[in-house]
Structure 1
Amino acid sequence: LCLALLGFAEARVTFTSSEVLQASDLVNTRANFKCVNGCKVYTDSKSASLFIMEYNEQTKFESEVVKFQDMGGLIGALPEPYNLKPSKNYFIENRAEADPTFVFYAVDNNAPNFDTQVMIIDDDWGIDGDGATRMFTILSSKFDSVRYNQFDGAFQEGYPRIYSVGFDAVAEMGCQPLYQSRSQESATMAAITVFSPISTVDYGREGKHNMHVKWNKDATITQNAKSSTVYSSPGYVGCRYNSDQSYSSSKTSLQDTFTLKATSLDVNAVFHLQTADDALHLKINDDKLDFFGSPSYTKHYNTDSYDVDIKWTRKSANANFALQLDFGLGKTDDTKTTAKVDESTTSS
């Protein structure tokens, strides 16, 4: 496995019922966020230099609401939300920290899935998403990626799923999963790397189930002959209505090459790559695919060995993609092309 990822920074991501902010959103040490109906907020930072502030339009004064250090309660991995009353004038302020790192999640009081548990990765071991609830949202800004694995439980068809959004956006038709399980067996063997500071695992229903998620410090991506692997642009979001937005990431390119023996391969790609310069280059054996445009693409392969080469470099700030490769799961669909894909067969 050879995976190369290099540096990049971007801006806030706004959803119908929430916003996700990071350090790159601070302009002159400040970043406002929406909370017009009241909201609850979460962060993975315990900084004493980062504050939530509020501007009072009547008095023309700014007041301190809370330090990041004082948010979240006593259990770091299971933070309590900090509740804010309705206001149009909240903002984050950095008073002293030279190079802050954080993810900040502000969720409207009328948001779907409002009582979903938020968890924070705060050590090398990671955390388990066990219990009977349907979903968990994970915050992690210390490294550019996290890895989900060890899925266990009785899942309905098409679950579990992993989204690169908070719990509120999972309910929106315009937001699709980064990863979707193809079978019970494939889910138990999956190891899914997510290049986003916020992600949500959806088990599909309440019941006994579990998964493990931890920092993926080396940004490694693994493959399994009877499961799925996922590649995505760093900072990938996955919602149609804000497809030109990405989370901040220090990575701008991806390259991987591997050979895997498996009975079949299904390719599922979704992308917002407006020009050929931003194209995702995928080669499977002698089949060369160059993805660009804003549609989706699926294709089935039926042989016994796959030489796979993936290359992508961000040229535009709003370029993004997600690619799921399902190995050894049999034919899931006929080939469907709704994309600007330069597809050719070459000999080598």
Structure 2
Amino acid sequence: MSSRIRTAALASAALLALSLTACASGGDAPSGSDAADDSAAAFPVTIEHAFGETTIDAEPERVVTWGWGSTEAALALDVVPVAMAQQAYGANEDGVLPWVAADLEDKGAETPVILTDDGETPPYEEIVEADPDVILAPYSGITEEQYDLLSEIAPTVAYPGEAWATPWKDVVSIVGEALGKSDEAETVLADLDGELADQAAAHPELEGKTVAAVWDVAGTFYVYRSTEPRVEFLTDLGLEVAPSVEELANGESTFFYTLSYEQVDQLDSDILVSYSDTQEEADAFLTSANTSVIPAVQNGAVAQVVGTEFIAAVSPPTALSLTWGLDDLVASLSEAAAVPSE
């Protein structure tokens, strides 16, 4: 997560293999020989991505997840990885996010091996030791060279477009396809879409309101574009991306850009969503001479997402975190939407 946040806010292998126990629990998913037959029948499966295509010949039994969201997608499909990426942002001291820890506890499953994440290079040696059948990294920052090295260990599924930019729903679908659980993935997404639809229906004040999502951190002002997964999440709730977001884009990236403080007064929207690690930072954002000129700040129409867990849960959401932070996010958006537009 730390590398994901930095990347979005800014965007061989060893030989020894050890045997680890693969965990999977049934939950509410289909069980028995019919479910096993259905999963097995899905293979071989070939998944296209930014670095070509990956063929998975048989149903994976030892799954390694890397990057963001694929761990939660696997768990939502009742597959417990043998190893998963360490998360620094919003996680506990062991590198486990709270909704992941809660799901593992509900399943009665042991915590998978935590793979060291230095923000730059996958820990190839640790991944080899996990002895995976597949490596899932559909929302990550791996390079083509890193993909090639990971593929020497096991079939590796990379992101379909840009690094750190895969829509959260696509992460669920890709993981479902890789695990032979596409039908189950559709069910997970349908349930989550239902949660979003319920929230949108309960808050008609959000419908059609324009929104801009920003993060002012360490003297740099970031604006997230319509292609950024956290923004797609906001539009799922009925909001529309403010025209000014794209009008001010400078080509720095397809999913975010930095904006000079001299230009922030041009970022016009009905609602401004601002992310801050602490309440102190959130308060400073509203009173800073640099940001107080933003129209939505002047109007008091700011929905603040405060705290590392909250930010991690909704930017972007995952198969498990969406419901974790949804109520608080919608409450903040609703309060901002209630402010009369000037």
TM-score by length of 2: 0.28
Name the structure with the higher strand share: 1
TM-score by length of 1: 0.28
Larger helix share, 1 or 2: 2
